[in-house]
């Protein structure tokens, strides 16, 4: 009998458990990111915002299926036009745990935690088709300058406080 090449689908009764990322999770997170994106596949602009920066672990989340880390989303301190904000990414889920809503749950959880921690705005570089249903909106082209080339249609924000995404202008920088 030929073994199926399709990845095994995670059973709904083994839905992963979320928790904040801990310092000791870094190696497993790096492995998941490497498998999901391959080496050097990040948008350069996003990587500029992460290098020489440190993730905000209290609002970065990982998903566990038993002892296996199967999902992650990281948040980073940035400034947008001189105002503090958080940058979201990378964001990945292991293939056999996809399309179960885990990705959306990670995004909602991290953004809710950011809001509770007092952050006002989340910015990311990603697909509107995925993130707009989660509440993110496009920044009008020409308003923000990221530290590298980026398709303006992929620059998305989520206001965590009313009006925090209004009239955004200026440089997006790490820290």
Ligand X SMILES: CC(C)(COP(=O)(O)OP(=O)(O)OC[C@H]1O[C@@H](n2cnc3c(N)ncnc32)[C@H](O)[C@@H]1OP(=O)(O)O)[C@@H](O)C(=O)NCCC(=O)NCCS
Footprint on residues 20-79 left by ligand X (CB under 6 A): 36-37
Is residue 16 a contact residue for ligand X (CB under 6 A)?
no
Q: Give the closest residue to 80 by CA, choosing from 174, 154, 5.
A: 174
| Residue 104 or 145 with smaller CB distance to ligand X | 104
Assess contact for 88 and 73: CB atoms under 8 A.
yes
Q: How far apart are CA 20 and CA 26, in angstroms?
A: 12
Is residue 130 a contact residue for ligand X (CB under 6 A)?
yes
| Residue 39 or 118 with smaller CB distance to ligand X | 39
Residue 41: CB minimum distance to ligand X, A: 9
Assess contact for 46 and 87: CB atoms under 8 A.
yes
Footprint on residues 92-121 left by ligand X (CB under 6 A): 92-93, 98-104
Assess contact for 88 and 74: CB atoms under 8 A.
yes
| Residue 49 or 92 with smaller CB distance to ligand X | 92
Residue 29: CB minimum distance to ligand X, A: 12
Q: How far apart are CA 15 and CA 83, in angstroms?
A: 37
Residue 117 corresponds to which tokens in the numbers above? 């921690």
Contacts to ligand X by CB under 6 A: 36-37, 91-93, 98-104, 126-127, 129-130
């Amino acid at each position: 009998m030929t073994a199926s090449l399709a990845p095994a689908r995670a059973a709904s009764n083994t839905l992963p458990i979320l928790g904040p990322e801990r310092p000791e999770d870094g190696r497993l997170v790096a492995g998941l990111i490497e498998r999901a994106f391959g080496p050097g596949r990040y948008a350069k602009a996003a990587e500029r915002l992460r290098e020489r920066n440190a993730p905000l672990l209290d609002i970065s989340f990982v998903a566990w299926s038993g002892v296996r880390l199967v999902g992650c989303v990281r948040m980073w301190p940035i400034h947008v036009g001189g105002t503090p904000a958080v940058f979201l990414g990378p964001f990945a889920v292991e293939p056999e745990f996809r399309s179960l809503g885990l990705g959306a749950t990670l995004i909602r959880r991290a953004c809710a935690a950011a809001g509770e921690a007092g952050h006002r705005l989340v910015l990311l570089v990603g697909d509107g088709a995925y993130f707009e249903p989660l509440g993110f909106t496009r920044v009008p082209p020409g308003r923000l300058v990221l530290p590298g080339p980026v398709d303006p249609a992929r620059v998305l924000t989520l206001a965590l406080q009313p009006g925090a995404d209004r009239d955004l202008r200026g440089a997006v920088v790490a820290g």
